[in-house]
Amino acid sequence: MTPGIVATTVAKIANPEGPGCCAIILTIVSYLLIVATFPFSLCMCIKVVQEYERAVIFRLGRLLKGGAKGPGIFFVVPCIDSYRKVDLRTVSFDVPPQEVLSKDSVTVSVDAVVYYRVSNPMAAVCNISDFSHSTRLLAATTLRNVLGTKNLAEILSERESISHNMQSSLDEATDPWGVKVERVEIKDVRLPVQLQRAMAAEAEAAREARAKVIAAEGEQRASRALKEAAEVISESPAALQLRYLQTLSQISAEKNSTIIFPLPIDIINNIVSK
C-alpha cells in the first residue's frame, strides 16, 4: 500500500465527517475548469456584496469556514459553492391588529411596529429557514401574551412599559436566530364603540362633578369675603357713604341715564315696626 493511500485512509478515520472522495474529486475538477476557462471563469467566480450585506458561503453543502464574507469582493468556486446574501440593515414591519382580552375582561384591538436587524448572518441562515417570517409571527404572539396580563387602564397609560417588555421578550427569543430586536412601539389601541360611549359618559359626568365642586368653593370664598367686607363697613358709617358714592361714580362713567339710589335698610325696618 502506497504512503499516499495510507495517509488518506488515516485522515478519513481521524475525521469521519470530513469531505469524501467524491467531494475531493469534484473540487479538483472545479478548479481545473476555472483554470481551463480563465479569464472567462472570473465572471462566475468573483462576486460582490454591498456595505450593508454579508454573504454566507456553502461548499458542497457545508458551511465555509471563516464566517460571512463581505463587504466587497469575494471568490466562489462554480459547481461546488453556493451562497446566500443577508441584509444587515434595520427592517421595520407592522404587527397586524390583534384582538386581545385584557386582564379585566375587556376586548381591545392593538397593533404595533417592530424594528429589527440581523446581527449574526450565519445563525440567521443556518438556524432558521425564514427569520423574517418567524420574527413577524413571534411578534404577533408576544403582543397578545403581554397585553393579556394587563388591564385596560394599564394598556392605555403604560404603552412605553409594554413596548419595553415586548422588546425584551422578542430579543431573548430571536437571539439564537441571529436577529436583534431594536425597538417595539405600540401604534394604536382601539376600543369597542359601546365601551367608548360608556367611557365618554363617565368622563363627562366626572367633569360636571368637578365643575360643580369648583363653583361651590368659589361661592363659599365669595361669601366669606363679603362677610368680612360687611364687618369692616359696619364699623364706620362713613365707609358705607363712601361706598355709595363710589358706586354712583362707576354708574355715571358708563353714560347711563338711570341712577339708582339705594334705600337704607334701617328706614325700612322703622317703617315696618310702626
Provide the grid cell at 117: 436587524
Beta strands 62-63; 91-101: pairing state? unpaired
Domains and CATH numbers, the chain: 3-87 (no CATH), 91-193 (3.30.479.30), 230-274 (no CATH)
Please tell me the number of Cα atoms within 13 Å of 80 on its side-chain side: 20
In the chain the first and final C-alpha atoms are separated, in Å, by 152
CA atoms of 86 and 152, how far apart (whole Å): 40
Contacts of 68 (CB under 8 A, 6+ apart): 54, 55, 56, 86, 121, 122
Name the helix (H) or strand (E) containing 85.
strand 81-87
**pLDDT tens, per residue, the chain with 274 residues:** 343 433 343 333 334 455 668 778 877 877 788 888 887 778 888 888 899 999 999 988 888 888 888 888 888 888 888 889 999 999 999 988 888 888 878 888 888 999 999 999 999 999 998 999 999 999 999 998 888 888 888 888 888 888 899 999 999 999 999 999 999 998 888 877 776 677 777 777 888 888 889 989 988 888 888 888 777 777 777 776 777 777 777 776 666 666 666 666 666 666 666 5
Q: The whole model's pTM is what?
A: 0.64
Judged by DSSP in three states, 91 sits in strand
Structure confidence at residue 269 (pLDDT): 62
